[in-house]
Amino acid sequence: MTEKIATRQAYGEILRELGEEYGNLIVMDADLSGSTKTAEFAKLYPERFFNMGIAEQNLYAQAAGLALSGKIVCASTFAMFATGRAYEIIRNSIGYTSANVKICATHAGITVGEDGASHQTFEDISLMRNIPGMTVINPSDAVAAKKLIRQAVEMDGPCYVRLGRAAVPVFYGEEDDVVLGKGNQVRDGGDLTIIATGIMVSAAVEAAEELKNKGIDARIIDIHTIKPIDEEIIIKAASETGKIVTAEEHSIIGGLGDAVAQVVVKNHPVPMAFVGQKDVFGESGKPDQLLEKYGMTSSDIVKAAETLI
């Protein structure tokens, strides 16, 4: 895991490809196309790009209208403003109507960094997975992001894609299968399972190496699709390893941890530990320093695993 690419960068790159393949693909933005990486699409297909200005409610309302008129729409802004400021519009105009809109939101989580607490959203996965019929995707690296965004565009119906600001390690290869709705076992192990999503998958890989040095054999699963969640791979892990740690750059309230716990308690209860943002707001700072302060590093995963062992 040497190369680092932001998942928002991968989004910009795959949009260029999809724009050529899908003549009915519309891309929309809220005056942040340089940051969300939709600017490249705008240069290539200006007639199919709409900058709606700093008006997120209008962005998603009009995205719904275009989708219900037969278009495929990727509508982007920062995750805080998409799921926060425009939640009611997304719920009623996109979710309720099953509009074919892909809410591709960037700058999620605490790794927004210096932008501070007002821009760091830890609630977005929880909000989106509560909307009936909404698919929720959180890619772990650039390769997975491209594959999953392509599949999101190919599917019919509303979808939330969570993308990050910071560059993160690339560990999937182009030949690897990353399939919407199916978790990926990144590493086998028998002592416990670390189930991670988004940028925390690479942290889980680092944690597994440290745990190996301590004589603990950890299985790692990448749950890139939070909804619909892959129950089969979770139940199998619970039954075979007997302990589960979840890791997410999101609140432990309502996110991956809760989703996994619902599956586990219903099918095969085992001890669990949860790594993620606790019930606090963030602050301005360097991404790595913030991850350390708020307990979302490989070391925090190791500590959580050791409490179960």
The β-bridge relationship of strands 101-105 and 72-76 is parallel
User: Which is nearest to 220 in space by CA: 249, 250, 253, 246?
Assistant: 246
d(CA 50, CA 39): 10
Written as one string, the DSSP assignment of 227-276 is ES--HHHHHHHHHHHS-EEEEEEEESSSSHHHHHHHHHHHH----EEEEE
Among 56, 123, 248, 249, the one annotated catalytic: 56
SS3 44: helix
What torsion do the CA atoms of 81, 140, 256, 152 make, to the nearest 10 degrees? 70
CB of 48 within 8 A of CB of 25?
yes
Exposure class string for 239-256: b at 16+ Cβ within 10 A, else e = eebebbbbbbbbbbebbb
What torsion do the CA atoms of 241, 244, 245, 250 make, to the nearest 10 degrees? 140
Both structure tokens of 67: 């989708």
d(CA 91, CA 248): 24
Active site annotation includes 56? yes
d(CA 280, CA 117): 10
d(CA 196, CA 213): 20
CB of 63 within 8 A of CB of 99?
yes
Strand segments, DSSP code E, in 69-162 are 72-76, 101-105, 135-137, 159-162
| Residues marked as catalytic | 56
